[in-house]
Chains A and B, each alone.
Chain A
Amino acid sequence: MAETTTAVPGVEAKAKAKAKSRVEERLSKLVPDKVHTWPYLVRLEMLVGTILMALITVWSIVVDAPLEEPANPTKTPNPSKAPWYFLGLQEVLVYFDPWFAGVVLPSLIIVGLMVIPYIDVNPKGNGYYCFRDRKFAISVYLFGFLVMWVALIIIGTFIRGPGWYLFLPGQYWDVHKTVAITNVNLADKFGIHDAPWSTLFGAACLVVWLGVIPMAFWKARIKKSETLQKLGMVRYQITAQLFMIMLGTCVKVFLRLGFNVKYVMEWKGMINV
């Protein structure tokens, strides 16, 4: 069997490949944890791919994709739900106006995800699972993904019924269900009802949340915290703003559910938060 292929073109390429393989042989002695892609990785990929194909084929034979009545623009179903992966955002729509829940928040999620590598200056935890080395980063990510995304999707998918009211699974969907809306603005809770002052009160709350608290934390910790020093003001502010907006979204939900707060700030019925 040996040397059956010497006569074909590409000899030079093979000599190069041979030299390369010699180099790699030497490399492999230096880096002993390397293995050949063929067969070790390729066979694993083949195996996973085959299992996945089998699963999806069986699934598709057993379960049919839904197809409802023909599209009818004059007949609005109740509830009308977005595709399931957007139901977390639709759920946030209960607590916020559409410009925030439907446009600004998703944009911030995308931008926030993209800047993660540039605001996380912690060199530890690169290439292995470890909570201890990155407590803050992992906690925030888990909170954002599991609570603010997955949990809200589950709520929106399974326990939201007609009128977007909460119905337990299996509970009768009463399309005539109404719940009296008794929500008032945060300013009203403090006895401030008139237009310019109530707006200023709300704006002050936002300034405290997004401006004063992050700055106070910075002032209090900058001397001692090496992380903050390494982070610098610009990266700290980006991190803090994104973090406070995510947390603030959650706080607003809490204020609504616990204290019937409609808006923290209302400005001309245009920018309501």
Chain B
Amino acid sequence: MAEAKKGWFDIVKSSYVWKSIFRHEYQDTYRNRVLQVSSNVFLHLHPTKIRRHALRLRFTWCMGGITFLLFLIETVTGVILMFYYRPTGEYAYHDMKYLQFDVPFGMIMRNMHRWGAHAMVIAVWLHMFRVFMTGSYKPPREFNWVIGVNLLVMTLMLSFTGYLLPWDQLSIWAVTVGTNMGRATPLLGHEGPFADFLGVNARYDARALLTAGRLVGAATLLRFYVLHCIFIPIIAAVLMIVHFWRVRKDGGISGPL
């Protein structure tokens, strides 16, 4: 009769397969609360216990977490867009129209990608603002601030390289204005101070390295696409791993001592 008391879920839970997946019970005990975090690869980014003020949104603004979530949203929507988008002068703009009018949910994916990117830039600034205002860059977290500044630069670079990809008037001219600054780089730009010193010219200088030529053209589009989808995200992801890891290694998020 003891068998009859067991519900179907108990039978599932006592199965070999279930137990091979879940190493502990779900019951709300002290031990399970700890295991819930420490035995989960995603949650174990956190310590098992945190200081109470780390829960206060007035203190953290949750901006670091929001930035990370936005990065994940950008990754998912970005991969979906990659299925439909070809980074060539002939197709790029047509594929944007295709996404807009023909691909199911294409426009929403593009909208989420663009607004998410803008939101991410703002979230990074606010995160940095919060961290500064709470003096969280002070010992022992000095170096994590430096990594954070690098992540800020990566965010801006991701956003800037992505700006070109729609291949419309807005993107090509915004990127032209932005990369034109490369011409004026001291020593390395052909219109900058000391341009003659290394003999750089319009075809071979700091700007040409960015734009893959004299002008923002099809070669630039491919270059920015690769930077946007592969190069910068990987660097940003590596920096994020170090950033999160160091938050824990430096004693969790900052707080009054």
Nearest chain B residue, comparing its CB with the CB of A61: B108
Say if the beta carbon of B173 comes within 8 Å of chain A.
Answer: yes
Nearest chain B residue, comparing its CB with the CB of A116: B137
Nearest chain A residue, comparing its CB with the CB of B113: A65
Say if the beta carbon of A196 comes within 8 Å of chain B.
Answer: no
Check if A37 sits within 8 Å of B178, measured CB to CB. Answer: no
Contacting chain B: which of A118-126, A180-188, A202-210, A214-222? Answer: A118-126
- For A91-125 the 0/1 string (1 means CB < 8 A from B) is 00000011101111000001001101110101111
- The residues in B between 131 and 186 inclusive whose CB is less than 8 angstroms from any CB of A are 132-139, 141-143, 145-146, 149-150, 152-153, 156, 159-160, 163, 166-174, 176-178, 180-186
Within the complex, the shortest CB–CB distance from A16 to chain B, in Å, comes to 10
Say if the beta carbon of A194 comes within 8 Å of chain B.
Answer: no
Check if A4 sits within 8 Å of B185, measured CB to CB. Answer: no
Nearest chain A residue, comparing its CB with the CB of B46: A37
Within the complex, the shortest CB–CB distance from A70 to chain B, in Å, comes to 5
Q: What are 18 A-B pairs at a CB distance below 8 A?
A: A1-B10, A7-B19, A17-B34, A21-B30, A36-B37, A37-B46, A41-B50, A63-B115, A70-B169, A73-B172, A83-B163, A98-B180, A103-B181, A103-B182, A125-B135, A127-B134, A128-B256, A141-B133
Within the complex, the shortest CB–CB distance from B66 to chain A, in Å, comes to 6
Report Cα–Cα, A126/B134, bound state, in Å. 6
Contacting chain B: which of A45-53, A168-176, A233-241, A249-257? Answer: A45-53
Contacting chain A: which of B187-195, B222-230, B232-240? Answer: B187-195
Choose among A24, A270, A271 the residue that contacts B49 (Cβ–Cβ < 8 A).
Answer: A24
Check if B108 sits within 8 Å of A83, measured CB to CB. Answer: no
* B-binding residues in A (CB < 8 A): 1, 4-5, 7-8, 10, 13-14, 17-18, 20-21, 24-25, 27-28, 31, 33-42, 44-45, 48-49, 52-53, 56-57, 59-61, 63-73, 75-77, 80-86, 89-90, 97-99, 101-104, 110, 113-114, 116-118, 120, 122-130, 134, 138, 141, 145, 270-271
Report Cα–Cα, A171/B139, bound state, in Å. 51
Nearest chain B residue, comparing its CB with the CB of A127: B254
Say if the beta carbon of B87 comes within 8 Å of chain A.
Answer: no
Check if A8 sits within 8 Å of B138, measured CB to CB. Answer: no
Within the complex, the shortest CB–CB distance from B186 to chain A, in Å, comes to 6
Check if A8 sits within 8 Å of B20, measured CB to CB. Answer: yes
Report Cα–Cα, A21/B34, bound state, in Å. 7
Chain A contacts of B43 at CB under 8 A?
37-38, 42
Report Cα–Cα, A67/B113, bound state, in Å. 14
Report Cα–Cα, A61/B59, bound state, in Å. 32
Check if B27 sits within 8 Å of A17, measured CB to CB. Answer: no
Check if B178 sits within 8 Å of A82, measured CB to CB. Answer: yes
Choose among B48, B134, B166 the residue that contacts A67 (Cβ–Cβ < 8 A).
Answer: B166
Choose among A67, A113, A127 the residue that contacts B135 (Cβ–Cβ < 8 A).
Answer: A127
Say if the beta carbon of B219 comes within 8 Å of chain A.
Answer: no
Check if A126 sits within 8 Å of B169, measured CB to CB. Answer: no
- Sample of 7 further A-B pairs with CB below 8 A, known A24-B34, A66-B170, A82-B178: A31-B51, A41-B46, A49-B69, A70-B167, A83-B160, A90-B177, A129-B134
Report Cα–Cα, A123/B160, bound state, in Å. 37
Chain B contacts of A44 at CB under 8 A?
55, 57, 62
Check if A73 sits within 8 Å of B189, measured CB to CB. Answer: no
Say if the beta carbon of B53 comes within 8 Å of chain A.
Answer: yes
Within the complex, the shortest CB–CB distance from A191 to chain B, in Å, comes to 27
Nearest chain B residue, comparing its CB with the CB of A124: B135
Nearest chain B residue, comparing its CB with the CB of A2: B25
Choose among A5, A13, A49, A103 the residue that contacts B184 (Cβ–Cβ < 8 A).
Answer: A103
* In the complex with contacts A56-B116, A71-B167, A117-B138, A64-B48 CB distance below 8 A: no
Say if the beta carbon of B201 comes within 8 Å of chain A.
Answer: no
Check if B136 sits within 8 Å of A127, measured CB to CB. Answer: yes
Check if A60 sits within 8 Å of B48, measured CB to CB. Answer: no
Report Cα–Cα, A86/B174, bound state, in Å. 10
Report Cα–Cα, A124/B52, bound state, in Å. 21
Within the complex, the shortest CB–CB distance from B24 to chain A, in Å, comes to 7
Within the complex, the shortest CB–CB distance from B20 to chain A, in Å, comes to 7
Chain B contacts of A104 at CB under 8 A?
186
Check if A116 sits within 8 Å of B183, measured CB to CB. Answer: no
Check if B177 sits within 8 Å of A69, measured CB to CB. Answer: no
Closest 4 CB pairs of A and B: A102-B181, A98-B184, A117-B142, A60-B111
Say if the beta carbon of B78 comes within 8 Å of chain A.
Answer: no
Report Cα–Cα, A67/B114, bound state, in Å. 11
